[in-house]
Amino acid sequence: MIKLRDLEYLTAIDKYKHFGKAAQSCFVSQPTLSGQLMKLEEQLGLQLVERHRRNVMLTPAGEQLVKEARKVLQAAGHFESCAKALLDPFAGDLHLGLIPTLAPYLLPHIMADLNTSLPNINFFLHENQTKILLQQLDEGKLDVLILPYLADMDKFESYKLFDEPLMLATPKSHRLANKKELSLSDLHGEKILTLADGHCLKDQAMGYCFSAGAKEDNSFQATSLETLRHMVASGMGITLLPALAAQGNLASDTIQYGKFQSPVPVRGISLVIRPNYSRMQCVRSIVASVRKSLSRIIT
C-alpha cells in the first residue's frame, strides 16, 4: 500500500530538485527522504528520479506519477479540511422525531429557541407514531425523539423535558364543563372518546380513565387530535387532551378545557437518543433549550 508521506516526498523532490531542500520542506532529514524515495521506487518497480551530483531530475515516469501524487494529496487534504469543518459539534443535520399528538402543538413553542441556540443545526422534523420512531431511531434514520418515555424504551437513553398535563375537553353544555376543582374521579361513569390504536396518548389517557372508572367509547376512534377535538366540539362526547393541544383556545367557543386538581394526570415528555449517540453536546443544548422554552408555557 502506497503511503501518503512518500507522495509528499516525491512532490517535494519535484518542487526543489534537491534532496536536502526537499527534505527540509518535509521536516525530515535528507537520508530519510532519500531512503523513503528509494523504497517507493523499489515498491513501484520503476525509477522515478535521476540522481546526479549537480542535477536531480524526474524520469518521465516520475513526472507522470507526480501529477497523480498531487491529486491524491489534494483529495487527502480535502478529507482533512472536511473533518475540520465537521469538528463543530453544534453544526450539521439533525433528524428529530415527534409523535403526532405532540408535534403540531409543541414545535411552535420550541423551534424558534432551538434555531437561536443552535443556529448551525439543520433540523429535519419527522412525525410518526412511537413504535415507528423508535425503530427509525435504532436504525439511525433519526437522531433524536421527543415523546412520552415509557418503560419499554430502556434500551435507549432519555432526558425528561417536561410533564404535560392532560386536560378534560368537554362540550360547553356538558355537566363537567363548568365544574370547579375538577378531579379524575369525576370521570366515573363517563364514556371517553379516544384516538385510534397506535397512538400512545390513547393508552396513557385511557389508563387514567379506567382507573377513574370511566370507559372507552368504542363507537369511534379518531385518527388525529383535531378530529377528536371536532368530535367534542360537536357534542359527541368528552376526552382527555394534552395541555399543549388544549392551549390557544382552539374552538374555545364550543369546547371547555378543564384542569384537573391533584393528582394531575400528566404524560412525561422526554428526549430520547441512542446510548453512545455521537453528538451529546448537541443533545444537551436541545434539552436545555426545550426546557427553557417550556418553562414559559407550562406552569
Picked from a copy of itself, DNA, none, the partner binding residue 50 (CB below 5 to 8 A depending on kind) is a copy of itself
Distance CA 200, CA 12 (A): 65
Select from 48-56, 186-194, 206-214, 221-229 the region that touches DNA (CB under 7 A).
48-56
Interface with DNA by CB under 7 A: which range of 19-27, 230-238, 241-249, 277-285? 19-27
Closer Cβ to a copy of itself, 70 or 191, answer by number: 70
Least distance in Å: CB of 117 to a copy of itself?
19
**What minimum distance in Å lies between the beta carbon of 136 and a copy of itself?**
12
Which residues contact a copy of itself by CB under 8 A?
1-5, 7, 44-47, 50-52, 55, 57-61, 64-65, 68-69, 71-72, 74-76, 78-80, 82-83, 86-87, 89, 92-93, 138-140, 143, 274-279
Q: Quick one: how far is CA 89 from the chain centroid? A: 13
Q: Residue 123 in contact with residue 111, Cβ under 8 Å?
A: yes
Torsion of CA 77, 78, 83, 87, to 10 degrees: 100
3-state DSSP of 139-158: HCCCCEEEEECCHHHCCCEE
Of a copy of itself, DNA, none, which one sits near residue 18, judging by CB under 5 to 8 A according to partner kind?
Answer: DNA
Instruction: Report in angstroms how near the CB of residue 78 gets to DNA at its nearest.
Output: 21
Provide the 10 A C-beta neighbour count for residue 245: 23
Q: Write down the residue that cell numbers 356538558 correspond to.
A: 174
φ, ψ for residue 174 (rounded to 5)?
Answer: -70, 155
**Identity of the residue, 83 or 299, whose beta carbon is nearer to a copy of itself in the bound complex:** 83
Candidates 31, 60, 207, 248: give the one binding DNA (CB under 7 A).
31
153 binds DNA (CB under 7 A): no
According to the 3-state scheme, what is the secondary structure of 2-54?
CCHHHHHHHHHHHHHCCHHHHHHHCCCCHHHHHHHHHHHHHHHCCCCEECCCC
Q: Beta 49-50 vs 57-58: how paired, if at all?
A: antiparallel
Least distance in angstroms from the C-beta of 32 to a copy of itself = 14
Q: How far is the CB of 271 from DNA (least distance, A)?
A: 20
Q: Return d(Cα 82, Cα 86) in angstroms, integer.
A: 6
Contacting residue, 54, 84, 180, 296, with DNA by CB under 7 A = 54
Using rule CB under 7 A, residue 32 touches DNA: yes
Angle between helices 60-86 and 4-16 (to 10 degrees): 120
180 binds, among DNA, a copy of itself, none (CB under 5 to 8 A by kind): none
Q: Which three cell numbers mark 40? A: 517507493
Residues that bind DNA (CB under 7 A): 3, 5, 18-20, 27-32, 34-39, 51, 53-54, 56, 155
